[in-house]
Amino acid sequence: QELGDMKFGKGLLNFTAKDSSFSLKFAPRIQFRSETTWNYNGDAFEDADQAFFIRRARLKFDGWALTPKLKYKIELGLSNFDIGGASVYTNNAPRYILDAVLKWNFYENFELWAGQTKLPGNVERVVSSGDLQFVDRSLLNSRFNIDRDIGIQLHHKINIGEDFVIKEKLALSQGEGRNVVVGNIGGLQYTGRLELLPFGEFSKKGDYFQSDLEREQSPKLMMGVVYDFNHDAVKTRSNLGTYMELDNGELYRTDIETWFVDAVFKYRGFSFMGEYANRISGDPLARVPGESNVEYIVLEGEAFNMQAAYLFKNNYEIAARYTTNDYEDFTNVSDVEQYTIGASKYIVGHKLKLQTDLSYTTLNKNTDNLEWRIGFDFHF
């Protein structure tokens, strides 16, 4: 048994067993950055606050077992940002496991998934945090995405005519996020995502990484729509956010619906992504029945994000992004508007890259801050 022909960026280990009984790609990854913020105090920008972070560090195992039709993925978080969120719901333990999932292609174009992994939500979320064209994801994503959960998924695709591809992804999940040990408190979460690729598949699954590193020679487009229904949700942002623990010791439950519409376009180094998100709930005001005191508020609202970039021949990229988050008035959360410009040097694609971006943010139309970030991704 030999190892496969290895190359930086293709895994630290990458091989298929000689008897073809399994394959493995193993890769660690670290993301380091500096963030410098100038807050605006109403009159002027204050002195800078600067900080260094290991923002993400991960170990990833993936491949197939027994047959290429049975794929597995295990991804572990290492950084303190990755593993936070310990609570009684997670056995007071860090949330170490990101993905632990099997994917079984049991029939033609059908794939059954079982385990914990990302839900088929907005495309920006499903793109790996290691494959972004800015230093990090947008504010739409940070407040509206539906993240990872545990349960089962069914994925399917159809080819229509020469090129047109349609993909359907369905998920049945517990609805309270990842690494929960106390069982299902509210009801189940149901997610459906429909994707249209009118000009055919992107090169090397390019709809699910940012930047047109493959320099598509013909225009490629993916349009998606997601509907997510979290029955009797107990957290303020569907399966994310804070548990709504009422003063009477019970958890507040309400149905939460999340919609996403998104699109990805790539052509000859140009890339575009647009997203719209919307969250509503049965009754967003969490209070003990009969009491007037509102203890939690479901973060209802809508958000919009669009970003475009151009990748030069020398693998430098410039990018721009515009994001708005508009919350319902009763949430008492300020509306956010953010303008970002970014630049990346892809030394070995997304596996070794330097990135920087500069964001200007307003809260309720008032200047809030200016933030400059610079860092690298190092990913076998």
Site for a second copy in 23-52 (CB under 8 A): 24, 26, 28, 30, 32, 35, 49-52
What string marks each residue from 175 to 194 as x (binds a second copy by CB under 8 A) or -?
----xxx-xx---x------
Q: Is 96 in the site for a second copy (CB under 8 A)?
A: yes
Cβ closest to a second copy, residue 5 vs residue 43: 5
Q: In Å, how far from its chain's centre is CA 334?
A: 23
Cβ closest to a second copy, residue 294 vs residue 343: 343
Of 120, 130, 151, 177, the residue at the interface with a second copy (CB under 8 A) is 151
Site residue total, a second copy (CB under 8 A): 73
Site for a second copy in 112-141 (CB under 8 A): 114-116
Both tokens of 53, joined, read: 């972070």
Cβ closest to a second copy, residue 191 vs residue 271: 191
Report how far residue 32's alpha carbon sits from residue 30's, in angstroms, rounded to the nearest whole number: 6
Of 17, 109, 110, 160, the residue at the interface with a second copy (CB under 8 A) is 17
DSSP string across 38-78:
EEB-SSSB---EEEEEEEEEEEEEEEEESEEEEEEEEEEE-
DSSP string across 104-123:
EEEETTEEEEEEEEE-S--H
Q: Is 92 in the site for a second copy (CB under 8 A)?
A: yes
DSSP 207: G
Report how far residue 212's alpha carbon sits from residue 194's, in angstroms, rounded to the nearest whole number: 23
Contacts of 149 (CB under 8 A, 6+ apart): 116, 119, 171, 173, 174, 175, 176, 177, 178, 189, 239
Cβ closest to a second copy, residue 83 vs residue 303: 83
Q: Is 166 in the site for a second copy (CB under 8 A)?
A: no
CB of 153 to a second copy, least distance (A): 12
Site for a second copy in 263-322 (CB under 8 A): none
As to burial, measured by CB atoms within 10 angstroms (0-12 exposed, 13-18 middle, 19+ buried), residue 213 is: buried
Q: Is 21 in the site for a second copy (CB under 8 A)?
A: yes
* Contact call for residues 117 and 73 (beta carbons, < 8 A): yes
Site for a second copy in 347-376 (CB under 8 A): 347-348, 352, 376
